[in-house]
Amino acid sequence: MAFFRKKDTKQNKGNATFSRSSSDRDLTKGSIPRNLWHLSWPQIAESFFSVVDQLADLFWAGRVGYKAIAGMGVSQTFLLMLMTARMGLDASMRAMISRAIGAGDVSHANHVLAQSIVLTLMWSLLIGIPGIIFTDTLLGLVGVSEEVVDITSGYMKLQFVAMSLMSFQRLTGGALQAAGDSITPLKAATVSRVGHLILSPFLIFGWLGFPDMGLAGAGMANVIAQFAGTIINFYVLFRGSSLLKLSFNNYRNDYPLMWRILRIGAPAALTGMQRSTSQLLLLLVVASFGDVPAAAFALSRRAENVVNHASRGLGRAGGALAGQNLGAGHVERAKSSMSWSIVYSAIMSVIAIVFFVSMPRGIAEIFSDSPEFIDQASKWIFILAFATFPMSSVQVFTQGIANTGATFAPMIITVITMWFIEIPLAMSLAYFTPLGAEGVPWGIVIGNLLRALIFFLYFMRGSWLKTGMI
């Protein structure tokens, strides 16, 4: 199939001999900016599709009503918290695979991948089944109206199924990226996102004879789309058309390795959960002011993801590049990889800031015709524009450094700045100043500025630059 690339080169490293496909690249050689761009542009493109997909969901939800936007925001906050918990597994797997590839040990990289897939299956069953059972309870905890709960319940249940499928797609895509193949995950993500974009309105509104499912239609569309994308990554890995080859022949659980994956990934999981858990807490604060602020919160945070998702992609690309070079013992190349990731992130941030500051009301008007919602959402978008660069820098540092295996320090930095500065400040501004609900985004801005500064100091210190395999 032309869709998948065949192996075309050979490479020797140490005592290991392995094949590289044309979509794989030796990240320990050549221009760092070019290698970073080669690895990151598919992830940025994937992030773009992800954001467009999310915004399209909000657009269609807005046609149902702004309460549907609020419900979608609430459900996504819970789902994000669970997804970020699993991202720790991705980070440790990426770190192990990239360093193994850098050291020439492809067999170990394949072994790490197989064990990680089994761990992901366990996680999906452990989280997905209870999530579906207790969906209404979770929605009720936030304090939104019964109408919002009724609109959102079916959507959220289906999103738990989609989340499990997405977990496999992201894990396998992350493994391929860590090995230097950024094209296959892009193909998988493109199929998923475009499929979801196309299917959602047909299933939400019952176009052309499709079932009229309401907001739940967006969830069903996502289930179908994520399944299709996941199949693509697994096909490439089982076929062995990339550097990695997945096989479960004679498979046995390697409990010491599983534990090492979980141990290395635990701080990264906690780091990711900080942001999603903080969003849940801040959503509780915002929802106490009514459904309109809750809907504005949902839209503004999706808007900021335009840069955040791309920055995560840059961070993962920088981490894969740095990890392979650390595995090969190239410390300066590893540090330079992360530096260039920050440069690329800054360029994207400037573009986003200009866009958000110049037309916040126009953005809000795309998603609803409610004057109250438009007024509130445009204010939030304008304020959060000032957090764009520090927030994107934090994403690059968090993802990049964690994907080299240094997961503990990012967790500590995030915990301190999130729970001792950002959250208390946002709540204080909301409840004890005339700002009201608008105090929350200002707290987010200040918290991210401080977090970015501390991450920069840690990065410059260089204690995360440890060579060899994990």
Mean pLDDT for back-to-back runs of 10 residues, the chain (470 residues): 40 43 60 80 74 76 78 78 79 88 88 94 89 84 77 88 90 88 87 89 89 88 93 92 86 93 85 76 84 81 74 81 82 88 87 88 84 87 88 86 81 89 93 91 92 92 74
State the Cα–Cα distance between residues 18 and 242, nearest whole angstrom. 11
- Residue 8: phi, psi to the nearest 5? -140, 0
Whose structure tokens read 């979801």? 196
Q: Number of C-alpha atoms within 13 angstroms, CB side, residue 251? A: 14
Domain boundaries, the chain: 30-461
Going 89 to 94 to 99 to 100, the CA torsion angle's sign is positive
Query: How long is the chain?
Result: 470
> Which residues are registered as beta bridge partners of 143?
none
**403 vs 315, 363, 409, 466, CA distance in Å?**
8, 34, 12, 12
- Per-residue pLDDT at 335: 87
Distance of alpha carbon 330 from the chain centroid? 28
Nearest to 384, CA basis, from 295, 454, 301: 301
pLDDT tens readout for residues 356-411:
888 888 888 887 778 888 888 898 889 888 888 898 888 888 878 877 778 788 88
Task: Mention every residue, 6+ apart, whose C-beta is less than 8 A from residue 249.
Answer: none
- Per-residue pLDDT at 231: 95
- Per-residue pLDDT at 468: 63
- What's the first-to-final CA gap in the chain, in angstroms? 36
Task: Mention every residue, 6+ apart, whose C-beta is less than 8 A from residue 349.
Answer: 307, 388, 389, 392, 393
In 359-419, which residue ranges form alpha helices assigned H by DSSP? 360-367, 371-384, 388-402, 408-417
> Which residues are registered as beta bridge partners of 328?
none
**225 vs 163, 175, 182, 190, CA distance in Å?**
11, 20, 20, 10
- This prediction has a pTM of 0.70
- Per-residue pLDDT at 426: 93
- Per-residue pLDDT at 420: 92
SS3 label, residue 150? helix
Number of other CB atoms surrounding residue 104 within 10 Å: 20
**Rounded (5°) CA angle 163-165-167:** 70
- Per-residue pLDDT at 2: 40
Running DSSP on this structure, what letter comes out for residue 22? Answer: T
State the Cα–Cα distance between residues 381 and 297, nearest whole angstrom. 9
Number of other CB atoms surrounding residue 31 within 10 Å: 10
State the Cα–Cα distance between residues 127 and 244, nearest whole angstrom. 28
Contact 439, 428 (CB under 8 A): yes
